[in-house]
Structure 1
Amino acid sequence: MTATAGGPTLLDVLTLEEIDRDLYRSTLLFTDPLPLYGGQVAAQALLAAGRTVAPERLPHSLHGYFLRSGDAARPTVFRVDRDRDGGSFSARRVVAVQGGEVVLSMSASFQAPTAGPDLQVAAAPAAEPPQDSVPFTLPRLFTMESRRPAQPHPGASSPTRFWARATVPLPGDPLLQACGLTYLSDIGTGLAALPEDEAAPGPTLDHAVWFHRPARLDEWVLVDLVPHTVSGGRGWYTGSVTTGDGVLAASLAQETLFRPGRNPFRPGR
């Protein structure tokens, strides 16, 4: 599927062709001067893995390593290995391949519905509601809109706390909703809060998401990204995704290359 004049949508991103058992291929192709967006390939890898488990088993975590730059104008092939199907959990490994080389390696785990306590220790981050927040554009995301509430780091080069939602209706399929959240989870960086001229965040090295509770991505969710440390040429931050009514839907952690030089996220640079 090549992008048309109307532009691709999040549903186009979350469409895979089944080539053979445990083998899938992306169908959305478009020209992009930047390397393939990591959130796209991660969301598609999770979708491929989810297609190989029982439909009632939903993702509860993923851990991915970005190994090479990809090209949005080329299809990506996803090969799934079925590591284990236990009584409650299913474990999968996925490699995303372009031109015979692995661009992403991911482990994902899925869980059958389980009864038990439901406890959220901390309240959602403080933020004005979307209707009272300033519109802004999240780069690289198809059919997503965003709002910027008051910032915990006012001097950050890009927002570290923002609302986002898909502008196209999404099916109620919880797997697709989790993949939409994964697509969103790689945008922005908590490292944007660090001083602008000390070092430059670079490509993502690894990315992890834990899915705690369901969240619809065609409704507003609040993303909050928190920087923690820089050492050894790597920067690390964590984040949370909460629903509009304050329910913690997911947590994330990401590590990126971090090099001396000006921060490329600073507008005008």
Structure 2
Amino acid sequence: MQHPANVQRSSGVEHGKTPRWLKERWLTMTHPARIFQVLEVERIDADVYRGPAVASALRRTFGGQVAAQALVAAIRTVDAGYRANSLHGYFVAPGDATKPTLLLVDRIRDGRSFVSRQVKVIQDGTVIFVMQASFHRQGDHGISHADTMRQLPGPDMLGDTTSHLRDTLKALLKEWSDFDIRVVPPDAYHRNPYTASQQCVWLRSKTPLPDDDTVHLCTLAYMSDMTLLQSALVPHKGVAVQEASLDHAMWFIRPFRADEWLLYDQISPVAHAGRALTHGRIFNAEGQLVAVVTQEGLARTLKPGTAAIPLDGLAPATENP
């Protein structure tokens, strides 16, 4: 595999055709990885795209899927000399996992150093997600510093990492079976006594991904919604909590590969009044900080026996966000 710095940025020019790398993957795989299906966003008109529905045990569309498809659509309207540096999105209504979505891109501004795009994701005439994305001209220079990665066991040193997890997260790990996700046991690393709730997760795509920066950016956008909200539940064992992403913000710091190990260092500084705030720093295996994520989610207590997430095999939640 190439070093992340050598991952190529695909052209922003879009003609509505499935990218060659995606066609090749479909032809060579008996059961294509979910992420390839998710990223097959189709152009149907100028700045108008269709996001495919992907078979899922989830009854509501996974938030990471919506964000990843919105980012694909935005990237396809931006020149290749710019790279996504951040996205900010709101999940304004639940999506139906069995139906495709319409993605409308608004070209807010094409500046010299930065490009701005807004994407509305629509399903059955209802807006379910709104995202603002920023793109920075590549090759810029400035000051440089970064947090360091904490000392903890590497992914290959971990055995079964699911025994201490909630049933909901165990079920979600089956949904995300195309990804290698290893939750670090809480007693395996030094915990900051001033942080209310902490969780560390190693993750990567099991399927090798092409040397295309767009694929890695959008795959990480998908992955970034995995396990983050569960970091708020660490101090609340045995408490039934309804979970749903309310918003999602992400900053892309430097190139990376989503098919190589990444450490997702997560905290939840506060949960109150049915909502939880979570924050995650994503490091590559060399300890470089490659992305930062912040998310607010619904964290409403439920009656015992009620599922946190509407998921086949678990009882549905009885309340709506």
TM-score w.r.t. structure 1 length? 0.88
Q: 2:9 matched to which residue of 1? A: none
2:210 aligned with 1:185, yes or no?
no
Give the Cα–Cα distance (whole angstroms) in 2 for the partners of residues 139 and 151 of structure 1: 22
2:176 is paired with a residue whose SS is: coil
Aligned match of 1:194 in 223, 228, 235?
235
The correspondence for 2:285, drawn from 244, 262, 266, is 244
Extract unaligned runs of 5+ from structure 1. none
C-alpha separation in 2, matches of 1:245 and 1:127 = 13
SS of residue paired to 2:186: coil
Does 232-241 or 247-256 show the bigger shift? 232-241
Q: 1:257 aligns with which of 289, 298, 302?
A: 298
Superposed displacement of residue 81, structure 1: 0.2
Residues 252 and 291, structure 2, Cα contact 8 Å, conserved in 1: yes
Q: Distance in 2 between matches of 1:16 and 1:135?
A: 36
Determine if the alignment matches structure 1 residue 222 to structure 2 residue 257.
no
Q: Does 2:186 match 1:151? A: yes
Which residue of 35, 44, 68 corresponds with 1:10? 35
Indicate the percent of aligned positions where both proteins have the same amino acid. Answer: 34
The aligned counterpart of 1:140 is 175
User: Which range moves more in the overlay, 192-201 or 17-26?
Assistant: 192-201
**Equivalent residue for 1:55, pick from 80, 87, 93:** 80
Provide the residue aligned with 2:204 in structure 1. 165
Matching residue within 213, 224, 230 for 1:174: 213
- Displacement after TM superposition at 1:149 (Å): 2.8
| Correspondent of 1:81 among 106, 113, 129 | 106
Between structures 1 and 2, the one with greater helix share: 2
1:20–1:83 distance in 2 versus 1, CA, 3 Å: same
193-202 vs 231-240, which moves further:
193-202
Residues matched between the structures, number: 263
Offset, 1:194: 2.7
Give distance in 1, aligned partners of 2:37 and 2:216: 14
* Equivalent AA in structure 2 for residue 77 of structure 1: L
Q: Does 1:122 align with 2:163?
A: no
**What does residue 3 of structure 2 align with?**
none
In the alignment, does 2:246 pair up with 1:211? no
Which runs of no fewer than 5 residues in structure 2 stay unpaired?
A: 1-17, 19-25, 162-169, 190-197, 309-313, 316-321
Tell me if structure 2 keeps the 8 A contact 1:191–1:236.
yes
Q: Which amino acid aligns with 1:222?
A: L
- Give the whole-Å Cα distance in 1 for the aligned partners of 2:104 and 2:211: 26
| CA deviation after TM superposition for structure 1 residue 199, in Å | 6.6
- More strand by percentage: 1
